Structure 1
Amino acid sequence: MATAEETDAPAAYEELLDQYERLTYVGGASGVLSWDQQVMMPAGGAPARSKQLSALSAIHHELLTDDDVGEWLDELDDADLTPEQEAVVREIRRQYERADAVPVELVEEISETSSEALQVWEDAKAEDDFSAFAPYLEDLVELKREYAEHIDPDADPYEVLFADYEPYLDLDTAERVLTRLRDELVPLIDELNDADADLAQPFDGTYPEDAQEALSRDVLAKVDYDFERGRLDTSSHPFTSGNQFDTRITTRFDESDPLGALMSTVHEYGHAQYNLGVPQDEYGNPLGESRDLTVHESQSRLWENHIGRSRAFYDLVLDDLKEHFDGIDDATVEDVYEAANQIYPENRIRVEADELTYHMHIILRFEIERDLISGDLDVEDVPEVWNEKMEEYLGVTPDTDAEGCLQDIHWSHGNFGYFPTYSLGSVLAAQLYASADEDIDDLDAKVAAGDFDALHDWLGENVHQHGKRYTTPDLVEEATGEPYTADYFLDYAESKFRDLYDL
């Protein structure tokens, strides 16, 4: 594959690349500070850290919106560029036009407010005190409305924010997919919930955190996580951060739910493999960056659900489970597979949700944040509306705001528009996995044997190596030969869960 840099590239293109490399490095430094804030920084460091991140955010913004960037882009309008160079210019132009519309003072204020809000959210969640977080949420809603208005005053502000995370699948597509998932999964969930299924429950004890962490590390080694370019830590909310040279993942542990931590680890591993798989020689330009969040989430959900919740995976790791956890000596592959895939509509926590009801958690958040941004919902009413929607969609009401509207980190970052990409990515994961399964001989047997080379190669060739060369719809067609569709996910869900519940 050709690279971004070509010897005969116009001078304006080379200047543009140099500038973009610098802002990439500043963004990377900001990412490391943010990782540290969530993993290692003492709580008292928050005031200084918010200033540091704000300063880096401003420098990044200034580099991107420099007058020279606009001039170089203008010069390249009619330039004779390779397809790879055209993709680089397309991606930088899009970022430049959005960033140039937003005053740097607003960028700094959003960064500083969200950095302060993170620590407040951590404390509010721990103390079950939504009122402590509410003023920061109000500020972030107002700031992001203002941000959206600067970018496109005539557009739906939520649509503008959504495009920060998924610029090439439009909001109408997202809403159609979410509506279809709700309409087709809710009846299936109800049917499964009413089934007289006697599924195995081999994990009914207490499983120490150190044993769970040791298992996570063993499993990461089995799926070929490169610890020379990554690390595993704990955080209140699991996440992945980094680039093709250094990508770090976090997980969290519940001593009563050992599979929850394992699935979280495998999920974040999928994100990490994508980051680590983009071309190293393109670091600093869009061809060395992952595509946006729908594609990123497809990688994590593919590994979590299509690998990590498969029978073949438990063929591979059953002995590891028995080595690290007491009381499951008699458990079989089928027992663990059933435990990993049961549905729990009564569950209130998104990151602990089963594969099907998970999407109801996403729809709930999508509807609330859309109404917050539009002004149809006041921040003070979020806990009540959250609980009402939980009851409507899942038949449960959170006992506390800590397990309700305070459970997720996203709003403390001001990340409105992020949540839909989780479901969009799950849908894409099924489409990609179906294509990989068709191309790779006996993929299940390879998973059971711990041979992931063919899958790594397939994902690398069809997704990772392209960076941002293609838009999301084009990348999906390149990888699978078909447009983006929810058909594969819904077929997969029907087949898997009807088989599991013997329906």
Structure 2
Amino acid sequence: MATEATAENTTYEEFLGKVKRISNVQNAAGILGWDQEVVMPEGGTPARSQQRSALSAISHELLTDDEMGELLDELESEDLDDEQAAVVREVRREYERATRVPGELVEEISRTTSEALPKWKKAREEDDFSIFAPTLEKLVELEREYADHIDPDKDPYEVLFEEYEPYLGIDTAEETLAELRDELVPLIEDVRESDVELATPFEGTYDAETQEELSRDVLDTLGYDWDRGRLDTAPHPFSSGTQFDARVTTRFDESDPLGALMSTVHEFGHATYTQGLPDDQYGTPLGQARDLTVHESQSRVWENNVGRSRAFWENFLPLVQERFADANGVPVDEMYQAANRVYEDNLIRVEADELTYHMHIVVRFEIEKALIRGEIEVDEVPELWNDKYEEYLGVRPDTDADGCLQDIHWSHGSFGYFPTYSLGSVLAAQLYAKADEDIDDLDGQIRAGEFDDFHDWLTENIHEYGCLYTTDDLIEHATGESFTAEYFLDYVTEKYGALYDLE
């Protein structure tokens, strides 16, 4: 028996060594991606596209080699503990998808997305969709081909969605988004018909340097680990990295200091999840975040349930007043209102309020589904985008920069990603409700600027497990319930009903 146990352990250790090598290659590619979006000179694209393409090819080759398949087959018949079985489950899923896709296609997708980024930037800056359209058309074709290799008998959009959320299912995404659309559109209409006017205390110009200082203030307040992170600016805010190096970016609009502040809080949520992953599992699925629904829940719970709460503003307002003189004398209620005002004419998803935000998601979700399924052509996107904004949000973009070019994700080849934004927001409310039940006077702790108990609750119920559980099992473990939109809809109905004096 001892000999068999040793052989089993050797097989798993050999397997784990290969998994960690793949992870390190992917993490290196992630740093190159961060560099390209944040500090790389504009002329660096030709070399960067080749570098990232090479790393994608190496990662693909390591994952799909025959020895990896043999090790997975051997381990399927072994008596593994729960952690080992979870690692094998996650790698098996990636292996089976990757072995169906030719390495040449993986390289071409990586190269095309690297080249797409500067074209998207230029198209957005010049408000000219035609600059990006040919690249978008190529990306759509490549993603269709990718999906067809993985499962030619399945809806290609569903295949791509499973890249980002493999366990909740496309049916859950479609049903949840339909429920949000059906429930939120009437609520948004009631808000807009209300006679209540929420406060708008910021009406001046606020320089980027002072806004950055305020962003650093809020990261300090919430407990960001600067030894394992940094703050930079990017055209589209994002967070990336590992538990040892989880970076955040934001962007500044001199007329809207609250926009950058809430963006920073949002990205903090992503980064604190990453920083909370177990150090000793780095390089394995147990040291990696559980897909994008859960990741987004962590950013949205900090941005909305914490950062837009009245309790938070009771604590944080003095720091705002230190940075911006015209905030002096502004009462907490007005700052709370300003952080939660529902906009009449918001066109930009990352600047949207909690209610209209989900209509932004629905628009892109419906359009990218149609693109991947071949139901529309790329050149139809701008007009269709504007039509849907008018239908769901009551506002029509005047420019493509504020319309279909506003988000970076299609330049990354990220089709199927967007539903996870709304799924994550819904999950955030469910998690916060459970944390509020478990933590003594959570609202009072936030009011006092004490976030340790909430950090600990999230770490103990979400972060420390990495990918040990599937998404649905993790939600059940953390909350005692299956995934549901009930908590989110109750939360926004109560909150905005009170703010706008709705019956």
Give the shorter-chain TM-score range: over 0.9
Shift of 1:174: 0.3
* CA distance, structure 2, for counterparts of residue 494 and residue 395 of structure 1: 20
Shift of 1:126: 0.2
- What is the aligned partner in structure 1 of residue 219 from structure 2? 220
Q: Deviations over 1:425-456 (max 9, x none)?
A: 00000000000000001111111111111001
| Structural mapping, 1:358-437, within 5 Å | 358-437=357-436
* CA distance, structure 2, for counterparts of residue 7 and residue 139 of structure 1: 50
AA aligned to 2:122 is: D
Q: Secondary structure at the match of 2:325?
A: coil
Q: Deviations over 1:1-37 (max 9, x none)?
A: xxxxx98853222111000100100001000000000
2:88 pairs with 1:86: no
- What is the aligned partner in structure 1 of residue 153 from structure 2? 154
- What is the aligned partner in structure 2 of residue 169 from structure 1? 168
Q: Secondary structure at the match of 1:249?
A: strand
- What is the aligned partner in structure 2 of residue 64 from structure 1? 63
1:345/1:357 contact within 8 Å kept = no
Would you say how many aligned residue pairs link Structure 1 and Structure 2?
498
- What is the aligned partner in structure 2 of residue 267 from structure 1? 266
* CA distance, structure 1, for counterparts of residue 353 and residue 198 of structure 2: 14
Q: Secondary structure at the match of 2:240?
A: strand
- What is the aligned partner in structure 2 of residue 480 from structure 1? 479
AA aligned to 1:31 is: G
TM-score (norm 2): 0.98
| Structural mapping, 1:322-341, within 5 Å | 322-341=321-340
Shift of 1:151: 0.3
AA aligned to 2:91 is: I
Q: Deviations over 1:395-445 (max 9, x none)?
A: 111010000000000000110000000000000000000000000011111
Q: Deviations over 1:308-343 (max 9, x none)?
A: 000011111111111111212110111000000010
- What is the aligned partner in structure 2 of residue 449 from structure 1? 448
- What is the aligned partner in structure 2 of residue 110 from structure 1? 109
* CA distance, structure 1, for counterparts of residue 176 and residue 266 of structure 2: 22
| Structure 1 residue ranges, 4+ long, deviating more than 2 angstroms after superposition | 6-12
- What is the aligned partner in structure 1 of residue 280 from structure 2? 281
2:8/2:78 contact within 8 Å kept = no
1:314/1:333 contact within 8 Å kept = yes
- What is the aligned partner in structure 1 of residue 13 from structure 2? 14
- What is the aligned partner in structure 2 of residue 3 from structure 1? none
TM-score (norm 1): 0.98
- What is the aligned partner in structure 1 of residue 54 from structure 2? 55
1:348/1:398 contact within 8 Å kept = yes
* CA distance, structure 1, for counterparts of residue 169 and residue 197 of structure 2: 42
* CA distance, structure 1, for counterparts of residue 324 and residue 228 of structure 2: 29
Shift of 1:201: 1.2
Q: Secondary structure at the match of 1:407?
A: coil
- The share of aligned pairs that are identical, in percent, is 66
AA aligned to 1:477 is: E
2:76 pairs with 1:77: yes
Mean Cα displacement is larger for which, 10-19 or 130-139?
A: 10-19
1:244/1:277 contact within 8 Å kept = yes
- What is the aligned partner in structure 1 of residue 306 from structure 2? 307
Q: Deviations over 1:83-104 (max 9, x none)?
A: 1111000000000000111000
AA aligned to 2:100 is: A
* CA distance, structure 2, for counterparts of residue 97 and residue 128 of structure 1: 41
Q: Secondary structure at the match of 2:228?
A: coil
1:166/1:421 contact within 8 Å kept = yes
Unmatched 5+ residue regions in structure 1? 1-5
Mean Cα displacement is larger for which, 364-373 or 319-328?
A: 319-328
Q: Deviations over 1:194-239 (max 9, x none)?
A: 0000211111111111111000101100111011100000000000
2:242/2:274 contact within 8 Å kept = yes
- What is the aligned partner in structure 2 of residue 243 from structure 1? 242
Q: Cα RMSD (Å) of the superposition? A: 0.9
| Structural mapping, 1:335-354, within 5 Å | 335-354=334-353
Q: Deviations over 1:92-138 (max 9, x none)?
A: 00000001110000000000000000011001100011001000000
